[in-house]
Amino acid sequence: MKVLTDEARATIYDSIRDIKDFPKEGVVFKDITTLLNNPKAYKLLMDHLEARYEDFNLDYIAGIDARGFIFGAALADRLNIAFVPIRKKGKLPSTTISEKYTLEYGIDEVEIHLDAFHEKKGVRVLVIDDLIATGGTASAAVNLVNKSGAICVESCFIINLTFLNGSEKLDSPVYSILEI
Contacts of range 147-151, beta carbons closer than 8 Å, 24 or more positions apart? 147/97, 147/99, 148/97, 148/112, 148/114, 148/116, 148/117, 149/117, 149/121, 149/122, 150/59, 150/60, 150/117, 150/121, 150/122, 150/123, 150/124, 150/125, 151/122, 151/123, 151/124, 151/125
Tens digits of per-residue pLDDT, 48-94? 999 999 999 999 999 999 999 999 999 999 999 999 999 999 999 99
The domain made up of 56-179 is a member of CATH 3.40.50.2020: yes
pTM for this entry: 0.95
Res. 106 pLDDT band, cuts 50 70 90: confident
- Residue-wise pLDDT for 5-30, tens only, equals 999 999 999 999 999 999 989 999 99
**What are the structural domain ranges in the chain?**
56-179
